[in-house]
Amino acid sequence: MTENLTRFYFDQEDHLFNWEDDQHTYEAKGSATNSQGMKIDLYFKVEDGRIVDAKYNVSGCPVLIAISAFYIENVIGKTLDGCHDFNAIGIHESIEIPNHKKDRMILLENAVDDCLGQIKE
Amino acid sequence: MKEIIKQIYLDYASTTPLAREVVSEMEAVMSGQSFGNPSSVDHLFGKQAYEAVENARLDIASLINADAGEIIWTSGATEANNLAILGLARFKKNGFKQQVISSFAEHKSVIEPCLQVKKEGFELTLLNPNANGSVDINELEGAINEKTLMVSLMHVNNEVGSINDIKSIGNLCRQNNVFFHVDAAQGIGKLPIDVKDYKIDLMSLNAHKVYGPKGIGALFINHESVGRVEPILIGGGQERSLRPGTLATHQIVGMARAYKIAQEKMSSDHRHLRQCRELFIDTCKDISKLSVNGHSENVFPGILSVSIDGLYAESIIYGMKIAAVSKGSACNSDDDEPSHVLKSMGLSQSEINGTVRFSFGRDTEIKDVEYACRLYRDSVDHLHRLSGD
Query: Do B215 and B291 belong together in one domain?
Result: no
Query: Do B192 and B233 belong together in one domain?
Result: yes
Query: Do B230 and B146 belong together in one domain?
Result: yes
Query: Do B248 and B105 belong together in one domain?
Result: yes
Task: Give the pLDDT confidence score for residue B333 in this predicted structure.
Answer: 46
A2 to chain B, any CB pair closer than 8 A? The answer is no
As for how many domains chain B has, the answer is 2
Chain B interface, Cβ < 8 Å to A:
310-312, 314-315, 318-319, 335-336, 349-350, 353, 382-383, 385-388
Contact A13 B319 (CB under 8 A): no
Query: Do B195 and B147 belong together in one domain?
Result: yes
Residues from chain B that touch A67, judged by Cβ atoms under 8 A, are none
Q: Please check whether residue B363 lies inside any domain of the structure.
A: yes
B120 CB-near residues (< 8 Å, 6+ apart) = B89, B90, B93
Q: Please check whether residue B82 lies inside any domain of the structure.
A: yes
Query: Do B28 and B75 belong together in one domain?
Result: yes
- Give ipTM to 2 decimals: 0.94
Residues from chain B that touch A100, judged by Cβ atoms under 8 A, are 335-336
Q: Please check whether residue B1 lies inside any domain of the structure.
A: no
Task: Give the pLDDT confidence score for residue B3 in this predicted structure.
Answer: 57
A30 to chain B, any CB pair closer than 8 A? The answer is no
A36 to chain B, any CB pair closer than 8 A? The answer is yes
Contact B388 A10 (CB under 8 A): no
Contact A60 B310 (CB under 8 A): no
The rounded mean pLDDT for chain B is 94
Q: Which of B212, B237, B260 is the last residue of a domain?
A: B260
Query: Do B97 and B223 belong together in one domain?
Result: yes
Task: Give the pLDDT confidence score for residue B331 in this predicted structure.
Answer: 46
Tens place of pLDDT for every residue, chain A, 121 residues? 567 899 999 999 999 998 878 777 887 899 999 988 899 999 999 999 999 999 999 999 999 999 999 999 999 999 998 998 888 888 988 898 999 999 999 999 999 999 999 887 7
Task: Give the pLDDT confidence score for residue B94 in this predicted structure.
Answer: 92
- Chains A, B: CB contacts within 8 A come to 46
Contact B387 A59 (CB under 8 A): yes
Model pLDDT for residues B165-183, shown as the tens digit of each residue:
999 999 999 999 999 999 9
Domains within chain A, CATH numbers bracketed? 2-120 (3.90.1010.10)
Q: Please check whether residue B345 lies inside any domain of the structure.
A: yes
Residues from chain B that touch A39, judged by Cβ atoms under 8 A, are 387
Q: Known catalytic residue: B276?
A: no
Query: Do B64 and B27 belong together in one domain?
Result: yes
Nearest CA of chain A to the CA of B318: how many Å? 7
Residues from chain B that touch A38, judged by Cβ atoms under 8 A, are 312
Query: Do B206 and B97 belong together in one domain?
Result: yes
Q: Which of B260, B283, B303 is the last residue of a domain?
A: B260
Query: Do B40 and B96 belong together in one domain?
Result: yes
Query: Do B71 and B211 belong together in one domain?
Result: yes
Nearest CA of chain B to the CA of A38: how many Å? 8
Model pLDDT for residues B33-63, shown as the tens digit of each residue:
889 999 999 999 999 999 999 999 999 999 9
Q: Please check whether residue B50 lies inside any domain of the structure.
A: yes
Residues from chain A that touch B388, judged by Cβ atoms under 8 A, are 16-19, 41, 57
Nearest residue, CB atoms, A62 vs list B310, B314, B353: B314
A72 to chain B, any CB pair closer than 8 A? The answer is no
- The model carries a pTM of 0.92
Structural domain boundaries enclosing B218: 20-260
pLDDT along chain B (389 residues), means of 10: 76 97 96 90 94 97 96 98 98 95 96 98 97 96 98 97 97 98 97 98 98 98 92 92 95 98 97 98 95 93 96 96 80 62 91 95 97 97 94
CATH of the domain at B291: 3.90.1150.10
Residues from chain A that touch B318, judged by Cβ atoms under 8 A, are 10, 62
Task: Give the pLDDT confidence score for residue A89 in this predicted structure.
Answer: 87
| Residue in A with minimal Cα distance to B354 | A60
Task: Give the pLDDT confidence score for residue B246 in this predicted structure.
Answer: 95
Task: Give the pLDDT confidence score for residue A3 in this predicted structure.
Answer: 75
Q: Please check whether residue B189 lies inside any domain of the structure.
A: yes
Query: Do B224 and B289 belong together in one domain?
Result: no
CATH of the domain at B222: 3.40.640.10
Q: Please check whether residue B3 lies inside any domain of the structure.
A: no
Task: Give the pLDDT confidence score for residue A1 in this predicted structure.
Answer: 53
Q: Which of B211, B239, B260 is the last residue of a domain?
A: B260
Spatial contact of B345 and B328, defined as CB atoms under 8 Å apart: no
Q: Please check whether residue B368 lies inside any domain of the structure.
A: yes
3-state secondary structure chain B: CCCCCCCEECECCCCCCCCHHHHHHHHHHHHCHHHCCCCCCCCHHHHHHHHHHHHHHHHHHHHHCCCHHHEEEECCHHHHHHHHHHHHHHHCCCCCCCEEEEECCCCHHHHHHHHHHHHCCCEEEEECCCCCCCCCHHHHHHHCCCCEEEEEEECECCCCCEECCHHHHHHHHHHCCCEEEEECCCCCCCCCCCCCCCCCCEEEEECHHHCCCCCCEEEEECCCCHHHCCCCCCCCCCHHHCCCCCCCHHHHHHHHHHHHHHHHHHHHHHHHHHHHHHHHHHHHCCCCCEEEECCCCCECCCEEEEEECCCCHHHHHHHHCCEECEECCHHHCCCCCCCHHHHHCCCCHHHHHCEEEEECCCCCCHHHHHHHHHHHHHHHHHHHHHHCC
- Using a pLDDT cut of 70, give the percent of chain B over it: 96
Contact A61 B311 (CB under 8 A): no
A92 to chain B, any CB pair closer than 8 A? The answer is no
Mutate to test the interface with B, among A6, A12, A33, A59 (most CBs of B within 10 A): A59
